[in-house]
Chain A
């Protein structure tokens, strides 16, 4: 485990140079969110922004490694390639969770100070989970793509993934229409109200797991 810790520390040192950007990003996010007319949205929106921000910043470590060709050096360490990939996933997932917690707590404090009322926590958490799902989608598509094609081309894959999902969604919609399958709004609302958090938490966990397995497979075969 120590070697993985070493790799995560390396990534955190690399992100040190992002310190100012992160602070500026949070200030801008806070100003844009807290100046909204509906104060009940502030916590979740701020948390969504910090979650996405932290997740995106953590992906920047790939670019640092690519510039310094660190992969070539790191594979000479006494560790397996699986551990190298695992360290990266721990960092990215950790940054995403940390971003959501920091955003949520700060948002809650500021919101309480301004509104003096406690918001509907479940609703707020559902919105934050939506943010986590969004950044998790980006990360889980991008990480294996970067391992396969490098940082630049890896980003392109994300656009294709979004396009593919849009096409698939449209196809499913028309198939449903043709087969006369309809889901009532009440059913959707019921599922969202009762199971949204757990369903999305599970989907996100499965997405990370599949993405991790694909990345390990790609990286094991990669010539560094």
Chain B
């Protein structure tokens, strides 16, 4: 499958934080969920992909082109939604159109206003008076109206109610329908991704811990709950991490079928992304 985005061995050093050897491959026509706790490195990775921050080493390729040599050309085909940044809130959706139509060559005014109407946004009201959900919808309408091939979203659902979150997730699914466009969406609200993401990439403390298809992750990985005595009989190489609770021990296993076969009596539950994330971060080997 052709990749829309390829990040190879990306490193970025700050005084108190470091992105270490980040590798991401995003194929065409898919949604990739980029998960991790706050401060794990999601935003820094997205900023690096957008060349908003200078990387120390590594390479970033989009649509088969090197970012550092084709930045302007590449950015014509990217739509960006940032949680905490947009044009001034004193602009109306009409004003936004007048600004952005000068920015992107492929800007489609009709498509933009189609989204504005679909999202029920008032055209002549300044966005300062919008709800959080409405503000996010305006950002998304702006990001997709120049028909980008890649949509990059940084925490688009944080601070939104479940209905608004659901609306927004539907937009992403519509966006990749043509099979040519992809979405990379960073979030710490993992439940949002369980139904829509095709791939999950998990970052922790500046390192990619895993990058797999959602099905592989949710269908093959498993959570085992056992007592202290049962835990002592389990080989360390048969689980990824364990988390000791007050009354039991939770194990994250990579292949629940193999585990069941080997330890006959154990019950292995289907994990949620949140459980995987928590055991990875809080657990121990």
Same complex origin of A and B: yes
Which A residues fall within an 8 A CB radius of B?
2-3, 5-7, 9-10, 13-14, 16-17, 64-65, 67-73, 75-80, 223-224
> Are B82 and A78 in contact, with the CB atoms below 8 A?
no
Can you give 25 A-B contacts (C-beta < 8 A)? A2-B102, A5-B102, A6-B103, A13-B90, A13-B95, A13-B98, A13-B99, A14-B88, A14-B90, A16-B90, A64-B88, A70-B85, A72-B52, A72-B84, A72-B85, A73-B82, A73-B85, A73-B86, A73-B87, A75-B50, A76-B75, A76-B82, A78-B103, A78-B104, A224-B52
Which B residues fall within an 8 A CB radius of A?
50-54, 71-76, 78, 80, 82, 84-91, 95, 98-104
Task: Chain B residues near A65: list those with CB within 8 A.
Answer: 88
A70 to B91, CA, bound (A): 12
A13 to B80, CA, bound (A): 22
Task: Chain A residues near B88: list those with CB within 8 A.
Answer: 10, 13-14, 64-65, 67-68, 70
> Are B102 and A78 in contact, with the CB atoms below 8 A?
no
Minimal Cβ-Cβ distance residue in B for A13: B95
A224 to B71, CA, bound (A): 17
CB of A82 to closest CB in B, whole Å: 12
> Are A9 and B85 in contact, with the CB atoms below 8 A?
no
CB of A222 to closest CB in B, whole Å: 10
> Are A75 and B100 in contact, with the CB atoms below 8 A?
no
A9 to B99, CA, bound (A): 6
> Are A76 and B78 in contact, with the CB atoms below 8 A?
yes
CB of B259 to closest CB in A, whole Å: 44
> Are B103 and A68 in contact, with the CB atoms below 8 A?
no
Minimal Cβ-Cβ distance residue in A for B44: A223
Task: Chain A residues near B99: list those with CB within 8 A.
Answer: 6-7, 9-10, 13
> Are B87 and A78 in contact, with the CB atoms below 8 A?
no
> Are A69 and B72 in contact, with the CB atoms below 8 A?
no
> Are B98 and A76 in contact, with the CB atoms below 8 A?
no
Minimal Cβ-Cβ distance residue in B for A68: B88
> Are B91 and A10 in contact, with the CB atoms below 8 A?
yes
Most chain A CB inside 10 Å of its own CB: which residue of B50, B54, B90, B104: B90
Total number of residue pairs linking A and B with CB closer than 8 Å: 84
CB of A72 to closest CB in B, whole Å: 4
Task: Chain A residues near B102: list those with CB within 8 A.
Answer: 2-3, 5-6, 9
A9 to B50, CA, bound (A): 24
> Are A76 and B52 in contact, with the CB atoms below 8 A?
yes
Task: Chain B residues near A7: list those with CB within 8 A.
Answer: 99
> Are A13 and B103 in contact, with the CB atoms below 8 A?
no
Minimal Cβ-Cβ distance residue in B for A2: B102
A65 to B86, CA, bound (A): 9
A11 to B76, CA, bound (A): 22
Task: Chain B residues near A224: list those with CB within 8 A.
Answer: 52-53
CB of B206 to closest CB in A, whole Å: 16
> Are A13 and B100 in contact, with the CB atoms below 8 A?
no
> Are B86 and A78 in contact, with the CB atoms below 8 A?
no
A154 to B200, CA, bound (A): 43
> Are B76 and A14 in contact, with the CB atoms below 8 A?
no
Most chain B CB inside 10 Å of its own CB: which residue of A5, A6, A77, A78: A78
Most chain B CB inside 10 Å of its own CB: which residue of A5, A17, A73: A73
A17 to B126, CA, bound (A): 11
CB of B262 to closest CB in A, whole Å: 49
From B87, B95, B98, B104, A68 is in contact (CB under 8 Å) with B87
Given known A-B contacts A10-B91, A78-B72, A78-B75, A70 and B86 have beta carbons under 8 A apart: yes
Task: Chain B residues near A2: list those with CB within 8 A.
Answer: 102-103
Minimal Cβ-Cβ distance residue in A for B102: A6
> Are A6 and B89 in contact, with the CB atoms below 8 A?
no
> Are A79 and B85 in contact, with the CB atoms below 8 A?
no
Task: Chain A residues near B51: list those with CB within 8 A.
Answer: 75
Task: Chain B residues near A3: list those with CB within 8 A.
Answer: 102-103
Task: Chain A residues near B76: list those with CB within 8 A.
Answer: 78
Minimal Cβ-Cβ distance residue in B for A221: B54
